[in-house]
Each structure stands twice: as structure tokens, then as C-alpha cells.
């Protein structure tokens, strides 16, 4: 202990350098964690978080009572996570391999630059682009097909719309990471495989894809902790927070955001938030444990 | 870092030696072109629509090849006049101050964390990692920031929540550990430089490539942040650009909800409310600066991502 204090004193400059981030994390991330206690309290604005009276599990009873909303937003959150992660990872890898295999290097460079652009457009702006495509009277799709579909009134169409939007926005950027791994593969491996008579597909299957596995594992692992969190902008802005579409578009995050603005269902929202954070933590620990067993080198901690 | 040119050269060599322009290659190229069009066409549509005649849009819909062009949309955007410039100033202020402040304090933290002889470094690492695993969520954040800190309507809430991220600190730390020789810092110390001087005059300048990568990603996050603004900012003089977009959407939504209004009447009202082309013009104004800056930073952030992906 004395050693430790002496060491800290000796390196007091490092303590000072670390202090600003420590304070920001403490006030911005750690203090709000204590706010989760609200799930067990009857929040009263005048008394604040810590002064509000406890109400046991009442909020969770409320949650179970209004279970259709709760089940709906939880189901949407998880289903979209699975679709986005599975399809997203597949497309990111496919695009990275495609660009890596393409021999027209100058063109792929330009194409890559163009593909990445959508990731830099905020969802507040993306919604207008989506609107230009699917608006009922002026949308490109209705015009091209000669139809008169009210996309904004038809919840059944939104899983497809949101998935396409998400792929459009993130795939170009998502592939960059995998491309950097591919650029690092030793070319001697390919040459050796060629001597052994491997064709292009065999090389992709036996050299390219296996070398991507560690990165894929890390990315999946990082995302597992966020199963309960969504790209709020996608679900709140692109759908224009439209009540008609809630059955297929409302996720936990957009529900909470909506609730904050409408000041509604406070206990329910607090209980949902608590559920969201705790499940997220458990999933993250579980995923890390799993990876540690399979491939210890790729575990996060 | 020094490895990179070698890899490129090898790839080129291999390409010239073994690869031929086969039919398969052209099919692959075609697929990539199609995907590029899929990614870029919607962006192009924004630019085309912004300069399309409003009446043309209401009658014929959005189009990549409008028959009638017009500057009216852009002009209408300038009608926002003061608010647009105010919002621009707010966004630039938040982006610049947030990015620089964040980069400075994060590299300070990353530096402390990377010192092997510093025993508190382990604690710093754990302290940094926990928020990635567990957090209070939007609701607690909202209540703590507004009713506990009483920061509602303060620009601090646009800056602080985005200025530190675990991932970014890890990227910076990895760069310090892998790419800056510790002998350099030891040598500086032997020459009599104090800890602070070593950090600010040796480490920080050498950290530049990594700072450029992280900095660009941070700047984009700040520029595109609409959620914190929507949650916390009420005063017009503090509204950033993204909030302007969100509010335009609200007025359009209001119009669309009046389903009885016929298309021709809507077109007639076009001048009073921000209509299609004006909206797209606003989108251009908002996303423009990032589009312009992005090509210059592209190589940095690709490099930055690569560095960050190495687990340290």
C-alpha cells in the first residue's frame, strides 16, 4: 500500500494528466448510472433522483401490465439487431473481399470514396433522402412503379425500408476495417497456394476469409453489448416518429426518447431503461466469456 | 506504419504478375459499380432536387433528370437568414471546441494509461472500460443533466457527452504504445524535460496521424449530433444546424397531416413553408462542409481505424 502511494506520488504528473477525462467520465457516464435506481422509485422532480421515495417493484408491475408495448419494443430492438448485424457483417465482408479482389485499383479507390459518403450524413438529413424515395405523391419509387403506396401509413413495409437505409448508410464504411485486415495478409501465402494449384475461390475460402475471422469476432463481440441499444436516429428520424408505424419501427431507444419529450409513462420508461442496461451488461459479459473460451486472444478483457 | 508501403508494393507486384482482366473481373467490377451507384445516387438526388423547380416536384415528383431547374430552393434557404448563420456558428463552435478539447484530454489520459511504471494505470484502464459495458441510458442521463446539474439549454451538454469515448482513448493509447518509441520519451527525461514537457513536446506532436483520424471522426459526430440538441436546447440562439433540419421536418409533417389540402393548394403555399427543394437545399448546407472535408481526411481515418483495431 505504501509502495502504491509512493508510486502514485512519484507519478503525480500522470494523475494530473488523467484527471480531466476522469472527471468527464465520472460526471457524464458514472453519475447517470446511479440514475438507474429510478426504476425502483416513484420519481418526483422536486425531490430529485436520490430524494424520491422508493416504490419497490411497482414500476416493473406496470411494465408487465402494459406488456404489449414492452414486448413490441423489445422484440423490434432484438430483431433489428439480428438483421442489421447478420446482413451488415456479411455485406461488409463481401464488399471488402470484392474490392480486394478487383484488379482495377484506381477505380475501386474512387468507388470506395463514394461508398463511404453516406455514413457522414446524419439521420436528421437522411430522413429527407428517404422521403424523396418513398413519399406518396412525389416519391421516386411510386413514380417509377406507377403505384400509389402510402409508405408512411404502412408498417409492414418498414422493416425493408429501415434495413435498406441502414445498409446504404453503413456498408461502405463498415468494409474499411476488413479491408485494412486484407491489406495486411502476407502475399506469400497466396503465392504458395497458387503453386499448390489453388484457384481464386479456393484462395478466398482458405486464406482470405480465415484471416478475417478474428476481426469479425471482435466486431461481433463489441456489438453484442449493444443488442438493447439501437441507432436511435434511424428509428426516430427516418420513421418521423410516426405512431402508425410503431408496431414495426419502435425500439427501446426511440421509445425512451419519445417518452422524455411527452413526459409520459415515467415509471414504465425507467423500468425499461433499467432492463435495457442490465441485459446489455449481461450480454456483453456473456459474449466476452464465450470468446475467451473459443479464442482467448480475441477477448476484450 | 513503416510496413505499409511494402505491403502495397507486394500487392501491385502480385497483381501485375498473376492477374488478368478476365470476364470474372469485369463482372466483379460491374457489381461494385452498381453498389457504388446505390450508395451515391441518393446523395446526388439531394443535390438535383435542391435545384429542381418546386412546382415540378409537386407535379412530377422527385427526379434525377428534372426538366425544369430553379434556384428558388436555395434562395428560400437564405430566407432563414439569421437563424441559419446563428446555427452555423453554434455548430462550428461546438464541433471545434469539442474536438480539440476531447483530443487533448483523451491523449493525456491515453498517455498516462500507457506508462508501465505508473501503477494506477490499471485502474485507469478499468475505469475507462466500464462505461462501455454498462451505462445509465438516455433517461437517467436526461434527468441527471437537467435536474441535477441544471444544465438544460446549455451548450456544455452538446460538448461534454461526446468529447470522451472509450474506443477513441483505446485507439490513441494503442498508437502511443505501438508507434512511439518509449526510448524517445526516456531520452527527453534524461535531458531534463519534466513529465508535462515530455508529453506536450514529444508525445503529442508524434501522435498527429492518430489525432487526425480520431479528430475527424469526432468532428463528424459533433456536426451530426441532433439528439442532444433536441433533448436539451430550447433557445434559438443556441440551436445547431441539425436541430434546424429536425424542425423543418416538423413543419412539413404538419402540412402533410392536413390531408385535405390538395396538391395545387400546397404548391401555392410553397413560399410560406419550407418545401421540398428548400428542404434539400438546407440538407446541402448542413452536410456540405463534411463532404468537402472528408476526402482530405480519408487516408487518416482509414489508417486510424487500422491502428485502433490492434488490441493493445
pLDDT digits (tens, 9 = 90+) for B278-302: 889 889 989 999 888 888 888 777 6
Residues of chain A with C-beta less than 8 angstroms from the C-beta of B149: 27
B123-B164-A179-B28 Cα dihedral, nearest 10 degrees: 150
What is the distance between the terminal CA atoms of chain A, rounded to a whole angstrom? 25
Nearest alpha carbon to residue B106 among A240, A39, A152, A25: A25
Measured from the Cβ of residue B75, the count of other Cβ atoms closer than 10 Å reads: 12
Q: Which three cell numbers stand for residue B39?
A: 450508395
pLDDT in tens, A23-72: 999 999 999 999 899 889 888 878 888 888 888 888 888 788 877 889 99
Domain range enclosing A37: 2-51
Q: Does the CB of B306 have a partner CB in chain A at under 8 Å?
A: yes
| Cβ atoms within 10 Å of B167's Cβ, excluding its own | 13
Q: How far apart are the C-alpha atoms of A288 and A222, rounded to whole Å?
A: 9
Cell of B180: 512511439
Q: For position B267, what pLDDT does the model report?
A: 56
* Residues A133 and A45 placed together within one structural domain of the fold: no
Grid cell for residue A270: 425507467
A295: distance to nearest CA of chain B, Å? 14
Q: What is the pLDDT of residue B19?
A: 61
Average the pLDDT over A129-140 and give the result. 92
- Residue A68's pLDDT is 84
pLDDT score of A124: 92
Give which of B148, B297, B144, B159 is closest to B223, Cα–Cα: B159
Residues A42 and A58: their CA atoms lie apart, in Å, by 9
Global pTM value: 0.87
> Rounded to an integer, what distance in angstroms lies between the CA atom of residue A57 and that of residue A65?
12
Can you say how many angstroms the Cα of residue B291 is from the centroid of all Cα atoms in its chain? 10
Q: What are phi and psi of B69, to 5 degrees?
A: -100, 160
Question: For position B310, what pLDDT does the model report?
Answer: 45
B291–A15 C-beta distance less than 8 A: no
Residue B207 near chain A (CB below 8 Å): no
Q: Looking at beta carbons, which residues of chain A come within 8 Å of B38?
A: 168
- pLDDT score at B264: 57
Domain co-membership, A206 together with A82: yes
For residues B64 and B41, is the Cβ–Cβ distance under 8 A? yes
Closest partner CB to A29 (pick from B33, B135, B294): B135
Q: Hey, what's the torsion of the CAs at B132, B135, B141, B144, to 10 degrees?
A: -120
Of residues A54 and A222, more confidence is placed in A54
Is B194 strand, coil or helix? coil
pLDDT-derived band of residue A245, with 50, 70 and 90 as boundaries? very high
The listed CATH number (1.10.3720.10, 1.10.600.10, 3.90.1010.10, 2.130.10.10) that belongs to domain B79-312: 1.10.3720.10
Q: Give the pLDDT score at B1.
A: 34
Q: Does B138 touch chain A (CB under 8 A)?
A: yes
pLDDT at residue A25, as a whole number: 97
CB contacts of B12 in chain A (<8 Å) are 105
The pLDDT value recorded for residue B11 is 47
Q: What is the pLDDT of residue B29?
A: 94
Nearest C-alpha in B relative to A96: B32
- In the predicted model, is pLDDT for residue A206 greater than 60? yes
DSSP B178: H
For helices B241-257 and B276-309, angle between their N-to-C axes, nearest 10 degrees:
140
| Count of Cβ atoms closer than 10 Å to residue B6 Cβ | 9
| Cell numbers at A133, concatenated | 424515395
B118: left (phi over 0), alpha (psi -120 to 50) or beta: beta
Give the separation between CA A133 and CA A165, rounded to whole angstroms.
Answer: 11
Mean pLDDT estimate for chain A: 89
Helix, strand and coil percent figures for chain B, each rounded to 5? 80, 0, 20
Same domain, A101 and A46: no
Looking at chain A, the whole-number percentage of residues with pLDDT higher than 70 is 99
Cβ contact, residue pair B61, A138, below 8 Å: yes
**DSSP state letter for A197:** T
Residues A262-274, mean pLDDT to the nearest whole number: 84
A 10 A CB-CB count for B305 gives 17
Grid coordinates standing for B93? 463552435
pLDDT value, residue B213: 85
Q: Please state the domain extents for chain B.
A: 79-312
Residue A232 φ/ψ, nearest 5 degrees = -55, -40
**Is the domain of A42 the same as that of A111?**
no
**CA distance linking residue A154 with residue A156, whole number of Å:** 6
CB nearest to B120's CB, from A15, A28, A99: A15
Paired residues of B69 in beta bridges: B52
Does residue A70 sit in the same domain as residue A196? yes
- All residues of chain B having their beta carbon less than 8 Å from the beta carbon of residue A297 are 311
ipTM over 0.85: yes
Interface test with A, best of B137, B142, B204, B305 (most A CBs within 10 A): B137
pLDDT at residue number B39: 96
Q: Could you tell me how many CB contacts below 8 A there are between chain A and chain B?
A: 304
Angstrom CA distances, A297 to A97, A286, A293, A294, B170, stand at 24, 16, 10, 9, 17
Torsion, Cα of A259, A260, A264, A267 (10° steps): 90
Residue with cell 423547380: B53
User: Are residues A72 and A162 both part of a single domain?
Assistant: yes
**Looking at residue B6, what is its pLDDT?**
41
Q: Which residues of A38-53 are buried (b: 16+ CB within 10 A; e: fewer)?
A: bbbbbbeeeeebeebe
Q: What pLDDT was estimated at residue B171?
A: 86
Per DSSP, chain A holds a count of helices (H) and strands (E) of 17, 0
- The predicted model gives A88-97 an average pLDDT of 95
Q: Which of B9, B4, B302, B36 is nearest to A99 (CA)?
A: B36
State pLDDT tens for residues A168-196. Answer: 999 998 898 888 888 888 888 888 998 88
Q: Is A129's CB within 8 Å of B45's CB?
A: yes
Cβ neighbours for B257, distance < 8 A, ≥ 6 positions apart:
none
Question: Alpha-carbon torsion B12, B16, B19, B24, what sign?
Answer: positive
Assess whether pLDDT exceeds 80 at residue A265: no
Model confidence at A223, pLDDT cuts 50, 70, 90, reads confident
pLDDT, mean of each 10-residue run, chain B (312 residues): 40 50 89 96 94 86 89 75 84 97 96 90 92 88 92 95 92 87 86 89 89 89 94 92 82 54 53 69 90 84 58 40
* CB-CB neighbors (< 8 A) of B195 in chain A: 11, 13-14, 17
Considering its fold, how many domains does chain A have in total?
Answer: 2
The three three-digit cell numbers of residue B107, written as one number:
491523449
CATH of the domain at A192: 1.10.3720.10
DSSP of A60-115, one letter per residue? HHHHHHTHHHHHHHHHHHHHHHHHHHHHHHHHHHHHHHHHHH-S-HHHHHHHHHHH
Amino acid at each position: 500500500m505504501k509502495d502504491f502511494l509512493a508510486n502514485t506520488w512519484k507519478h503525480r504528473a500522470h494523475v494530473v494528466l488523467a484527471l480531466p477525462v476522469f472527471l468527464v467520465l465520472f460526471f457524464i457516464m458514472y453519475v447517470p448510472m446511479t440514475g438507474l435506481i429510478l426504476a425502483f422509485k416513484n420519481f418526483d422532480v422536486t425531490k430529485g433522483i436520490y430524494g424520491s421515495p422508493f416504490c419497490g417493484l411497482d414500476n416493473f408491475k406496470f411494465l408487465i401490465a402494459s406488456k404489449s408495448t414492452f414486448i413490441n419494443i423489445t422484440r423490434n430492438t432484438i430483431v433489428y439487431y439480428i438483421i442489421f448485424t447478420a446482413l451488415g457483417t456479411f455485406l461488409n465482408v463481401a464488399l471488402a473481399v470484392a474490392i480486394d479482389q478487383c484488379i482495377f485499383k484506381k477505380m475501386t479507390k474512387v468507388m470506395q470514396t463514394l461508398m463511404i459518403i453516406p455514413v457522414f450524413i446524419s439521420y436528421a438529413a437522411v430522413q429527407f433522402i428517404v422521403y424523396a424515395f418513398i413519399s406518396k405523391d412525389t416519391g421516386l419509387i411510386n413514380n417509377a412503379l406507377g403505384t400509389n403506396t402510402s409508405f408512411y401509413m404502412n408498417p409492414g413495409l418498414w422493416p425493408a425500408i429501415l434495413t435498406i437505409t441502414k445498409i446504404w448508410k453503413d456498408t461502405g464504411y463498415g468494409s474499411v476495417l476488413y479491408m485494412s485486415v486484407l491489406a495486411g495478409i502476407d502475399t506469400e501465402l497466396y503465392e504458395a497456394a497458387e503453386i499448390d494449384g489453388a484457384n481464386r475461390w479456393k484462395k478466398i475460402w482458405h486464406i482470405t476469409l480465415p484471416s478475417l475471422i478474428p476481426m469479425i469476432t471482435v466486431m461481433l463481440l463489441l456489438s453484442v453489448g449493444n443488442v438493447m441499444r439501437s441507432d436511435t436516429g434511424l428509428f426516430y428520424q427516418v420513421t418521423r416518429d410516426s405512431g402508425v408505424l410503431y408496431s414495426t419501427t419502435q425500439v427501446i431507444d426511440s421509445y425512451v426518447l419519445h417518452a422524455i419529450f411527452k413526459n409520459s409513462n415515467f415509471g414504465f420508461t425507467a423500468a425499461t431503461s433499467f432492463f435495457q442496461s442490465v441485459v446489455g451488461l449481461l450480454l456483453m459479459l456473456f459474449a466476452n466469456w464465450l470468446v475467451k473460451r473459443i479464442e482467448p486472444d480475441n477477448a476484450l478483457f | 506504419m513503416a510496413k505499409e508501403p511494402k505491403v502495397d508494393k507486394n500487392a501491385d507486384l502480385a497483381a501485375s504478375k498473376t492477374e488478368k482482366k478476365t470476364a470474372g473481373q469485369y463482372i466483379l467490377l460491374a457489381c461494385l459499380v452498381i453498389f457504388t451507384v446505390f450508395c451515391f445516387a441518393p446523395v446526388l438526388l439531394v443535390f438535383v432536387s435542391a435545384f429542381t423547380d418546386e412546382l415540378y416536384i409537386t407535379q412530377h415528383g422527385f427526379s434525377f433528370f428534372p426538366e425544369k431547374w430553379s434556384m428558388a430552393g436555395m434562395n428560400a434557404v437564405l430566407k432563414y437568414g439569421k437563424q441559419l448563420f446563428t446555427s452555423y456558428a453554434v455548430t462550428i463552435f461546438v464541433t471545434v471546441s469539442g474536438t480539440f478539447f476531447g483530443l487533448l484530454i483523451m491523449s493525456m489520459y491515453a498517455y498516462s494509461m500507457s506508462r508501465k511504471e505508473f501503477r494506477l494505470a490499471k485502474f485507469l484502464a478499468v475505469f475507462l472500460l466500464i462505461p462501455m459495458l454498462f451505462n445509465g441510458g438516455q433517461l437517467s442521463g436526461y434527468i441527471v443533466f437537467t435536474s441535477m446539474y441544471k444544465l438544460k439549454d446549455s451548450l456544455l451538454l452538446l460538448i461534454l457527452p461526446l468529447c470522451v469515448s472509450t474506443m477513441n482513448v483505446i485507439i490513441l493509447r494503442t498508437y502511443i504504445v505501438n508507434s512511439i518509441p518509449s526510448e524517445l520519451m526516456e531520452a527527453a527525461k534524461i535531458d531534463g524535460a519534466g513529465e508535462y514537457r515530455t508529453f506536450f513536446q514529444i508525445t503529442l506532436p508524434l501522435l498527429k496521424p492518430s489525432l487526425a483520424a480520431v479528430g475527424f471522426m469526432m468532428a463528424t459526430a459533433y456536426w451530426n449530433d441532433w439528439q442532444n440538441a433536441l433533448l436539451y436546447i430550447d433557445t434559438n440562439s443556441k440551436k445547431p444546424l441539425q436541430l434546424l433540419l429536425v424542425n423543418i421536418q416538423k413543419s412539413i409533417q404538419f402540412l402533410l397531416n392536413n390531408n385535405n389540402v390538395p396538391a395545387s393548394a400546397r404548391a401555392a403555399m410553397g413560399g410560406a413553408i419550407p418545401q421540398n427543394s428548400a428542404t434539400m437545399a438546407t440538407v446541402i448546407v448542413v452536410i456540405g462542409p463534411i463532404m468537402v472535408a472528408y476526402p482530405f481526411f480519408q487516408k487518416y481515418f482509414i489508417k486510424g481505424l487500422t491502428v485502433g483495431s490492434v488490441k493493445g
